[in-house]
Amino acid sequence: MKKSEIKDLQKYAVKVRKHIIDEVYSAASGHPGGSLSCTEILTVLYFAEMRVNTKQPLWEDRDRFVLSKGHCTPALYAVLAEKGFFPKEDLLTFRKADSYLEGHPSMRYVPGVDMSTGSLGQGISAAVGMAMAGKLDKKDYRVYAVLGDGELQEGEVWEAFMAAAHYKLDNLTAFLDHNGLQIDGRITDVMSPEPVADKFKAFGWNVLKTDGHDIEKILESIGQAKDCKGKPTIIIAETVKGKGVSYMENQAGWHGSAPNKEQRDQAMAELDKVLAELEVE
Amino acid sequence: MADKIATREAYGNALAEFGSDNRIVVFDADLSKSTKTDNFRKKYPERFFNMGIAEGNMMVTAAGMASCGKVVFASTFAMFAAGRAFEQIRNSICYPKLNVKIGATHAGLSVGEDGASHQAIEDIAIMRALPNMTVISPADAVETKYAVKAAIEHEGPVYLRLGRLNVPVIYNESSYKFEIGKGIVLAEGNDAAIIATGLMVSAALEAKELLQQEGINARVIDIHTIKPIDADIIVKAARETGAIVTAEEHNIIGGLGSAVAEVLSENYPVPLVRVGVQDKFGKSGKPDILLQMYGLTAADIAKSTKAVLKKKTGR
């Protein structure tokens, strides 16, 4: 990929972060921390990788995406709106009673959302089902999912991992948004799922590691995942919860709280600065 | 009565019979010999998937497949479908209204020897409280067959409540018609109405004979669809008989009896007696003995009908 294309993706990521802050600020609730940590992953998937059609969101040959950590839907909505599935202005209706942008994503209401999620542990199972359907129908679409690292504490995740390896779903690629934090603190303090790479390997998956904020490295990992035959791939993406907003970074407290006006303005100023730097270079 | 066939057997046979439709996929959780989905597997192995002893994952994987245009039958015992996988069914099947049909076998006390841990007596209550869910509890093999067919044609989630025990075939296939949400009057009568579901329908027919000997003429209604409930047939029965008995192999809390009580109290209140499990767990034993122990026989229905008649005349 050309340098200019990488830079475009980096710019998209900043725009997505700005949407996330505005969505959560206007709703006065929502989950900024984990949305900011998976921003580059979603940006790369929707702007550089996935085969989707905004005019035909239910196109049967499209690649599928499941946000298994459904609470991070501000990031998903931002990417879908930037992509053109629905108007960007609607993002400011997030979580409001007269809006279709539910607090957790609903496939029935939101164009581009492939699976309703929100209850942790279930999204990855749905992705397994989509990948099985793809194999059964001999379709070449791919299925992507993003899991949280706290989410690994849900037993269903491991049932799904077992099934994906058993059915050799090499059309399935999952990302682990490994930001190390959950609501009550560090994942290793609350209920450690580590060592995650060893566990994924033991469950029969192809395991890759990447920097979850580095566009080029994410792209490279996706390429490797597509080359792997006979096994599903998990890309362990090392990330920072709250990435891109100084006071939110690595703070578990920003898992599920909204910024006030002053905090919102500061976040926007920080992100605008990054965007301006990217424009200049 | 003629043949006896378990509704689970009829379910497995129906899947095999109607399975030529390529959209149909069957999942099981290591119970395919018991749920009889193995009958489908033998014919269409490429569209059968064993998901192992992991019911939560099975339900949501079925949802994922359904989102890709499949009609997925996900089978396990009622206990582990409605019970263990409740929240998966709620959030990943009912909320997005996906085309997953839950074939829940071994419902009720008639599971027998396996005992209370395997006897779902609350599944109807749990499943009918879910928006978008259709709940069907067939009475015999013929009804089961056409319930499966209707489930395939119906757009959205369906819970099929099936039994382990061989039960009498009460319907004649050549004249039988199944429609989701439409009860069936099996026998006319105007003294009282017995409204039954599942294996209690044949017991209700026997109870009618017992009552007949005492000069009581009871109507017998098969409510195969518990949700959406056939309010019309229930209100009509209330108007014309003035006394209702419900009969189900389920807790009296939340099941058919409750659903009928809801319809009556909002539309046409008449005396009601609910035959069912009296808010107790089951136990091990032969199915027929358990049904006697827990008051789920034709004689119990007849006794309750006489009791409800007293309430009616006492008004």
Eight-state DSSP code of residue B111: G
Instruction: Collect all residues of chain B within an 8 Å Cβ-Cβ radius of residue A122.
Output: 56, 60, 88, 91-92
Query: Residues B154, B121: one domain?
Result: yes
Which chain A residues are within 8 Å of B54, Cβ to Cβ? 156, 159, 162-163
Over residues A121-143, the pLDDT tens digits come to 999 999 999 999 999 999 999 99
| Claim to verify: residue B164 and residue B61 sit in the same structural domain | yes
The per-residue pLDDT for range A163-186, each reduced to its tens digit, is 999 999 999 999 999 999 999 999
Q: Quick one: angle between helices B141-153 and B7-18, nearest 10? A: 40
Per-residue pLDDT of chain B (315 residues; tens, 9 = 90+): 469 999 999 999 999 999 999 999 999 999 999 999 999 999 999 999 999 999 999 999 999 999 999 999 999 999 999 999 999 999 999 999 999 999 999 999 999 999 999 999 999 999 999 999 999 999 999 999 999 999 999 999 999 999 999 999 999 999 999 999 999 999 999 999 999 999 999 999 999 999 999 999 999 999 999 999 999 999 999 999 999 999 999 999 999 999 999 999 999 999 999 999 999 999 999 999 999 999 999 999 999 999 999 998 755
Q: What is the pLDDT of residues A49-96, one digit of tens each?
A: 999 999 999 999 999 999 999 999 999 999 999 999 999 999 999 999
Please check whether residue B173 lies inside any domain of the structure.
no
Closest partner residue to A132 among B61, B91, B92, by Cβ?
Answer: B61
Judged by DSSP in three states, B21 sits in coil
N- to C-terminal Cα distance for chain A? 18
CA B98 to centroid of chain Cα atoms: 21
B201 and B119: one domain? no
- The answer on B157 and B130 residing in a single domain is yes
Place of tokens 């959780």: B29
CB-count exposure of residue A262 (10 Å: 0-12, 13-18, 19+):
exposed
CATH classification at residue A153:
3.40.50.970
Centroid of chain to Cα A190: 23
A180 and chain B in contact, CB less than 8 A = no
Which member of B55, B122, B143, B248 is catalytic? B55
Local structure of B113: helix, strand or coil: coil
Q: Which DSSP helix (H) or strand (E) runs through A246?
A: none
Per-residue confidence (pLDDT) for residue A117, from 0 to 100: 98
Q: Give the range of the structural domain holding residue A102, as residue numbers without chain letter.
A: 3-280
CB contact under 8 A, B88 and A156: yes
Asked, for residue B178, whether it belongs to a domain, the answer is no
Window 7-26 of B, Cβ < 8 Å to A: 25
Same domain, B22 and B88: yes
pLDDT at position A280: 86
The ipTM assigned to this model is 0.97
Residue B255 lies in a domain: yes
Q: Are residues B235 and B261 in the same domain?
A: yes
For residues B114 and B83, membership in a common domain is answered with: yes
Write down the pLDDT at residue A47.
98
Q: Last residue of some domain: B144, B168, B192?
A: B168
Give the C-alpha separation, A268 to B3, whole Å. Answer: 75
Tell me if chain B has a CB within 8 Å of the CB of A138: no
Comparing alpha-carbon positions, the chain B residue that sits nearest to A121 is B57
pLDDT of B71-112, one tens digit each? 999 999 999 999 999 999 999 999 999 999 999 999 999 999
Of B176, B93, B185, B76, residue with least CA distance to B132: B93
E strands in chain A: 64-67, 143-148, 172-178, 181-182, 185-186, 206-211, 233-238
CB B308 within 8 A of CB B245: yes
**Would residue B55 show up in a list of annotated catalytic residues for this protein?**
yes
**Is B152 in contact with B205 (CB distance < 8 Å)?**
no
Q: What range does the domain containing B189 cover? A: 184-313
3 state DSSP class of A53: coil
The pLDDT tens digits of the residues spanning A200-247 come to: 999 999 999 999 999 999 999 999 999 999 999 999 999 999 999 999
Out of B47, B54, B68, name the one closest to residue A130 (CB): B68
Split into its structural domains, chain B has a count of 2
What average pLDDT is seen over chain A? Answer: 97
Give me the pLDDT at residue A1, please.
Answer: 85
What total of structural domains would you count in chain A? 1
Contact with chain B for residue A210, Cβ under 8 A: no
Chain B CB within 8 Å of residue A98 CB = no
| Domain stop point among B168, B192, B207 | B168
On whether both B113 and B210 belong to a single domain, the answer is no
- B157 with B221, same domain: the answer is no
| Residue in B51, B54, B64 nearest the CB of A130 | B64
pLDDT the model gives residue B312? 87
Q: What is the pLDDT of residue B313?
A: 73
Last residue of a domain, one of B118, B138, B168: B168
Q: Are residues B153 and B270 in the same domain?
A: no
Same domain, B139 and B81: yes
Q: Are residues B146 and B201 in the same domain?
A: no
